[in-house]
Amino acid sequence: MHNRNHDQPYGRIIMNSSLDSDGFDTVTLTLDDDEQVECVIIDVFPAGDRQYIALLPLDDDGEQASDEVYLYRYIDNGDEKDPDLENIAGDEEFKLVADAFDKLLDTMESDEQYDWEDEPE
């Protein structure tokens, strides 16, 4: 996990409503310096009283760019507008979000294992 607020500028999310070749929802994250990073949406999840989004950056070939996961606050602006992202404010909030994301990953891994075990041979 990567605490984007220490190393990267604020970003905004541009929904492109596309699917990558593996069928995952992707978004384009535009940073303040106008650099664009294509990311797979891992999930939007609650932590405390806010919503957060976990993004997996992709390289130019649509492959996982690194082991980093970008975590941001997620602000849903309704159906008429794209959502906004905000940087996580500090270490305490980041720990809360990281713990919630770890639990989410544990659940996803558990569900994957369960689904895999239930597939017919």
Note the pLDDT tens digit of each residue in 36-51. 888 899 999 999 999 9
Specify the long-range contacts of residues 40-45, CB closer than 8 Å, at least 24 apart. Answer: 42/69, 43/104, 43/108, 44/74, 45/100, 45/101, 45/104
Q: Which residues of the chain have pLDDT under 50?
A: 2-10, 14-17, 116-117, 119
Residue 4 confidence (pLDDT): 44
Q: What are the structural domain ranges in the chain?
A: 2-118
Contacts with 16 (C-beta within 8 Å, 6 or more apart), sequence order? 26, 27, 28
pLDDT the model gives residue 116: 43
pLDDT of residue 97: 96
* Nearest partner of 65 among 101, 44, 26, 38, judged by Cα: 38
pTM exceeds 0.85: no
